[in-house]
Structure 1
Amino acid sequence: MRHYQRALITGATSGIGAGFASELPGDTRLLLTGRDETRLGAQAQELARPDRPVATIAADLTQAEAIERLVAAADDFEIDLLINNAGSGRLGAVIDNAVEDELATVQLNVVAVVALTRRLLPGMIERAARAGRRAGLIIVSSTAAFAPVPYFATYAASKSFDLHFAEALAEELRGQPVDVLALCPGATQTAFGPRAGYRSARFPGAADPRNVARGALSALGCQTVHVAGSLSQAALAPMVLPRRVATGLIGRAMRLFVAR
């Protein structure tokens, strides 16, 4: 695992984001963001040490103004690791879901990721080159990125964007002092499922978020795409099937999760 001095984690108050905050070394200074100021404060108290301050900024990253505030804070913090973890999605047919929910998914999973990455990477690379170190970028995608997912269409499409964006960035930045990783977790023990509309909060074989985060930190600098967990390797199966067949099979499976 590479060592980083200052990290920004979006969506840090729960799930995989909280896992990253816990799994980074104790001397890595943290800038944590999420929408719940109270939870951020409690998390900062838990993680802070006398020699490791933890800064927080409450922000709704579906809003342009919040992104601007976070960029300014991250530049002042002089981060060398950016973890784009915040994400949202809504289970159900696109035409049945609220327009606001579908647009918020794109704003958070795509627009905020591009905005933060584009605004913060140049400074990260410049500081890394000056110090003779390497910076790091993790974009949290999903195993849903590998195929169209009916009844989770916008979420899966947004995560496909994240995957392709990270892979392309890794190639563009080859030779620069920065490592790029697309993390593709499958079912994980987080609050994402209930928020997205799944009828059950528990999934058989769901991964521990700290294990997912630990695996991603170990993979950063060694590979470009990391599919978390052996069970999640099944997500690659649609890649060997005709696309129409894979979409139909996934759609039939997803109907079981849609609340009636």
Structure 2
Amino acid sequence: MDFNTSTALITGSSGGIGEEFAIQLAQRGAHLVLVARRGDKLAKLRDTLTVKHPGIVVDVITADLAVPGSGAELEGKVRELGRSIDVLVNNAGVGLHGKFVLQTPEANAAQIQLNCGTLVDLTARFLPAMKERRHGVVINVASTAAFQPTPGMAVYGATKAFVLSFTEALWQECRGTGITVLALCPGATETEFFDRTGEEFLTDGRQTSQQVVDTALAALDKSSPTVVSGLRNVILASGYRVTPRKLMLAVSERLLKSN
């Protein structure tokens, strides 16, 4: 897929998978709108990318997308910049680790808002213009956690199941419109995600952000709504089809326990 001179909005782009999307899309000649809470890291990434790729424009928007109404505010800032979004990468997300009963209602509400609410909101705000132009890309970052319940990260897994279902439905609705929709399902990846949970788990077989983004960009040229990154993750994600639900819950809980 040709990204040259297109404009990509990437949420959660101050590190990890979002940062890697920015790096790889910049290499392909895309202009960027980088969004995250950490403005200092975004500014550093912008400076690095514009030095390496002087032909692109990189805008930085600092925003907390876990706050209700943040999608509308972000859309307004993009409009003020005069940017038309061709590629939307809904990457921002958070996961709480531990038993649900020990988590606060406020933290889980913020998790649902970020992982689901704002993702849907941003898609709703930028997709119609793509449809009018009959050209665009929407990549929603789900997870292999989307394929089965995840005791120990109950709300996180449920939010990613929502993202997967929403994105696959959107893929079907957008067929024949010139818009490419993809649900990206990474497994455990070497990012700050695990640092933020304050726990060590899923330490074996982690992929790099580069491997995940390589998989996503390669999948855009194929006619599939979903891609799972990594053969091991493909096998694990497909296990739900043949594993009894009760056994699957026990295995999933064991995998997510802290080391």
**How high is the TM-score relative to the length of structure 1?**
0.91
Structure 1: distance between partners of 2:214 and 2:2? 12
Structure 1 residue 204: deviation in Å?
Answer: 2.2
Partner of residue 247, structure 1: 249
Counterparts in 2 of 1:202-213, with a 5 A limit? 203-213=203-213
Q: 1:238 maps to which residue?
A: 240
Is 1:70 the counterpart of 2:74? The answer is yes
Aligned counterpart, 2:114 = 108
Q: Deviations over 1:93-122 (max 9, x none)?
A: 111012222111101000001100011100
Q: For the residues of structure 2 that align with 1:252 and 1:26, how far apart are their CA atoms?
A: 41
RMSD: 1.6
Residue 87 of structure 1: aligned partner: 93
Q: Which residue of 2 aligns with 1:59?
A: 63
Partner of 2:187: 186
The percent of aligned pairs where both chains have the same amino acid is 38
The farther-off stretch of 27-36 and 210-219 is 210-219
Q: Which has the higher contact order (CA 8 A, sep 6+)?
A: 1
Deviation at 1:74, TM superposition (A): 3.5
Q: Which moved more, 1:242-251 or 1:53-62?
A: 242-251
Q: How far is 1:212 from its partner? A: 0.7
Is contact 1:138–1:220 with CA below 8 Å preserved after alignment?
no
Question: How many residue pairs are counted as aligned between the two chains?
Answer: 251
Task: Determine the C-alpha separation between the residues in 2 that align with 1:157 and 1:64.
Answer: 19
AA in 1 matched with 2:117: V
Contact 1:67 1:115 in 2 (8 A): yes
Equivalent residues in 2 for 1:209-220, closer than 5 Å: 209-220=209-220
Residue correspondence of structure 1 range 1-260 to structure 2 within 5 A = 1-3=1-3, 5-24=6-25, 25-48=27-50, 49-75=53-79, 76-127=82-133, 129=134, 134-199=135-200, 203-222=203-222, 223-233=224-234, 234-254=236-256, 256-257=257-258
- Secondary structure of the equivalent of 1:95? helix
Cα separation, 2, equivalents of 1:257 and 1:73: 40
